[in-house]
Structure 1
Amino acid sequence: MDLLNLFLAHIKLSMNDMVELSGIPKTSVHRMIGSLEEMGFVKKDNDGQYSLGLLFLQFGNLVAERLDIRHIAISVMEKLRDDIGEAVHLALRDGQESIYIEKLDTNHPVRLFTKIGRKAPLYAGASSRTILAFMPEHERDAYLDEIELKPIGSGTIMDKEELRASLELSRRTGYSFSRSELENYTAELSAPIFDHTGQIIAALSIAGLEVQFGEEKMADLIYKVKTAAHEISQKLGFIETA
């Protein structure tokens, strides 16, 4: 990363330039830049000058495509927020975590303290668990095999068999629900958003104080969150098959 960061301010750099600017020994620079070139992160021209490789264009386009979902989802999120009066979140997967990329707050005097950029492990919270539940099976199994469950809130799931059962329930019902998993006395209800290939791309959720999610409200809230998530999926080109 020290070497790659040099290209933020320089279009092209020679081996000697990188040694001088980074302060890294030449033998180490030579070894690392060779690996970066082999992987496609940098390319070398006929004059021996290095520049960023086209692989970054691919990654950049991927990031742009995924963040475009904010613009696509916002009108649906606003409608959902105004309808139910609870905070609405949009979350993406970021490695072994989920990350909020959009949030619409409510006018409630007592509100959740969440913000765009907040992360949570994939096993904790409804949004995270929705993403985990609908990930490709081999990725989900690999994650479950290696992850160590740690308590965050009083309701965080700490047993892997219980977690697996919860994920299966989410896949079967099309939504996830959590109580006090990330913050005590709070609840979150989430549904998956799929892209045009049928792969999960994000999770839509509503969240608020636990007392706002009484049993008498749940059926209506589940329907509205799932409907909103499906509407966003359709805007992304998702076509549900029988």
Structure 2
Amino acid sequence: MKPIRALSNADEVVRLLGSEGDMSPAEIAERLDIPRPSVYRLLDGLESIGLTESVPGSRARLNLRWLHLADQARESMVEWAGARELLSELVERTSQTAYLTVLRGHEAVCLEWEQGRAVGVLLLKPGRSLPLYAGAAGRTCLAFGVNVEEYLDTVTERRAYTADTLTSDAALRADVEATRRRGYVFSDEDVTDGIAAIGVPIRGSRGQLLGALSVSGIKVEYLAKRDAYLEALLDVAGRLASLNEAAIQ
């Protein structure tokens, strides 16, 4: 079990550096509740294989090798080959930032995006994730991709991003029911103030969730153009589903 525990601790260190940036071994030890000597050993090991590097001030940061690894990981997902072109088309039709996300555990992870011509919405971009209780992508995955009661029992700590983030069991159950009934999510400032998003599921031929497709931008535009955005999303989501299933046959 010791190697498994060491790998788990190394994973936590990498995730922390990825979210917080440069940190000292003492800061890492305090945040993760890992003994400082263990943190030094983990950082030495990660640096020896080119995943972290030392920077001035006795701090550690992720190595640029992660950029290459991220590109390789995305290119290996042949089931989404061609998704970027469809996202570009979606941006042309809506002017909004478009996201392709997939369900991974208790998170919605962004695989691909295309920057819109309106406002830059940068909280979610390739490699980053949102919890399933927040945002158009996350709430789409919650409604169509997981056992909701098991999720609510497991993920009990839910940080509110804004005053409109849904965090209670009752609110999330009601949202899932409404989402399944209408077939899409409308995210109304529940991740970023002033920003709205619409998300739809990408579903396979057996009804299984393949991913989520969403567009995000300034809220006032969504109130006026929701129907047009939804029409474009549903069209592109259907074509992404066909592309995905054709690639893996």
The two structures have a TM-score, normalised by structure 2, of 0.64
Asked if 2 retains the 8 angstrom alpha-carbon contact of 1:175 and 1:226, the reply is no
- Residue 132 in structure 1 maps to residue 162 in structure 2: no
* Structure 2 partner of 1:41: none
Please list the CA deviations of residues 204-238 of structure 1 after superposition, one character each: whole Å capped at 9, or x if unmatched: 00001212212x31112112112211121122339
Asked if 2 retains the 8 angstrom alpha-carbon contact of 1:153 and 1:180, the reply is yes
- Residue 168 in structure 1 maps to residue 177 in structure 2: yes
Asked if 2 retains the 8 angstrom alpha-carbon contact of 1:192 and 1:204, the reply is yes
Change (3 A) 1:199 1:211: same
Please list the CA deviations of residues 57-106 of structure 1 after superposition, one character each: whole Å capped at 9, or x if unmatched: xxxxxx88983343232222111111110000011112111111111002
Change (3 A) 1:3 1:64: farther
* Structure 1 partner of 2:161: 152
CA distance in structure 2 between the aligned counterparts of 1:205 and 1:166, rounded to whole angstroms: 17
CA distance in structure 2 between the aligned counterparts of 1:135 and 1:112, rounded to whole angstroms: 25
Please list the CA deviations of residues 121-177 of structure 1 after superposition, one character each: whole Å capped at 9, or x if unmatched: 1111111010110125xx322002232232112210132212111111111221111
RMSD of the TM alignment (CA)? 2.7
CA distance in structure 1 between the aligned counterparts of 2:2 and 2:112, rounded to whole angstroms: 30
- Residue 121 in structure 1 maps to residue 131 in structure 2: yes
- Residue 201 in structure 1 maps to residue 210 in structure 2: yes
Percent identity, aligned pairs only, is 28
Alignment of 1:53-68 (within 5 A): 67-68=77-78
| Residue type at the aligned position of 2:183 | G
Alignment of 1:1-242 (within 5 A): 3=3, 67-108=77-118, 110-114=119-123, 115-136=125-146, 139-148=147-156, 149-214=158-223, 216-237=224-245
CA distance in structure 2 between the aligned counterparts of 1:102 and 1:155, rounded to whole angstroms: 26
Equivalenced residues, count: 179
CA distance in structure 2 between the aligned counterparts of 1:86 and 1:107, rounded to whole angstroms: 6
Q: Secondary structure at the match of 2:85?
A: helix
CA distance in structure 2 between the aligned counterparts of 1:65 and 1:173, rounded to whole angstroms: 34
CA distance in structure 2 between the aligned counterparts of 1:197 and 1:218, rounded to whole angstroms: 28
Q: Secondary structure at the match of 2:192?
A: coil
Gapped regions of structure 1 (runs ≥ 5)? 7-23, 25-62
CA distance in structure 2 between the aligned counterparts of 1:140 and 1:69, rounded to whole angstroms: 26
Identify the range of structure 1 (63-72 vs 139-148) with the bigger mean alpha-carbon deviation: 63-72
